[in-house]
Amino acid sequence: MPYVTVKMLEGRTEEQKRELVSRVTEVVSETTGAPKEAIHVFIDEMSKNHIGIGGVRKSDQ
């Protein structure tokens, strides 16, 4: 039973997240042979003030 975690900055619409879960599930099923019903997709959204790149928070850019 595959588990997939997608980490991304917050701000996507519900429709975008729905599509992401659908497509990730499809690809994992195709590549691993796992049934779609056994694939778990977790979306971990991060606030822009909780991530820094090159010493600068995304919220400060």
Active site members: 2
Residue 59 makes CB contacts below 8 A (sequence gap 6+) with 47, 48, 49
- Please choose, from the candidates 48, 8, 32, the residue with its C-alpha nearest in 3D space to the C-alpha of residue 21: 8
DSSP 37: G
